[in-house]
Amino acid sequence: MFRGAVHLPTVGIELPRHLRLVGTAQDGAGSAQEDTPSEARPPIDTASAFRLHGSYVTRVALRFLGRTAEVDDLVQDVFLDAIRGIHKLRDAEAARPWLALITVRKARRLLRKRRARRAFGLDEGADYTEVADSRASPEERARIAELYRVLDSIPANERLAWTLRYLEQEPLDRVAEICECSLATAKRRIAAAHAVITEEIGDD
């Protein structure tokens, strides 16, 4: 399970890293296979991709969306796309970043639809305290819920880039790669989201 807390620089709150995963998969599941030398790995296919990277896709989807009820469908959609396109991968090591890219595309569409529904009063939000692991304290749950309520006000591209950078702790070049944008654009998106979060949540 996730342990400790992630400090969000300049935001002024600490968020528990143990954001709850869907199902029983643990963070790091499949790490033994991922540590296997590439020459010893079998050719990548959908089943092995799910075994190796399913928990990663689930975790990222949850952190993008914040709503557990939407995660299963998104993960299913990601791997349905994988079935259609995984034969194009020539390197098994490319599977994880490729799945991350698909996850971002799917999450972007869903977040934009959610934002449009909210504009018409058709989205009443969610109980974001459910995102927290069962071990989280009431204070931690409240902090997580507050963050996700603020994230709901942020455009999808900015939200996704910020989540990758601060919740997934991806380096900037990886954020740009996964979000299919330039490094400069990734930095701008992260900074824009961070400014809103800092203003709404404030520094302690």
Question: What is the token pair recorded at 161?
Answer: 């880039």
Are 68 and 22 in contact, with CB atoms under 8 Å apart?
yes
Are 193 and 10 in contact, with CB atoms under 8 Å apart?
no
Mean per-residue pLDDT pooled into runs of 10, the chain (204 residues): 36 43 35 42 73 90 91 93 81 85 96 83 74 79 88 96 92 97 97 93 61
Instruction: Tell how far CA 81 is from the center of its chain.
Output: 18
Residue 6 pairs with which residues in a beta bridge?
A: 15
CA distance 132 to 11: 19
Kind and range of the H or E element at 16? strand 14-16
194: amino acid identity, one letter: H
Q: For the chain, give every domain's residue range.
A: 5-154
Would you state the pLDDT for residue 25? 34
Are 160 and 104 in contact, with CB atoms under 8 Å apart?
yes
Alpha helices by DSSP H, the chain: 31-34, 46-65, 68-85, 95-119, 138-151, 156-162, 172-178, 183-201
173: amino acid identity, one letter: D
CA distance 189 to 51: 32
Would you state the pLDDT for residue 94? 82
Backbone angles phi, psi at 123, to 5 degrees: -125, 115
Q: Map residue 4 onto helix, strand or coil.
A: coil
| Alpha carbon separation from 160 to 50, 137, 181, 203 (Å, rounded) | 22, 26, 12, 22
Would you state the pLDDT for residue 202? 66
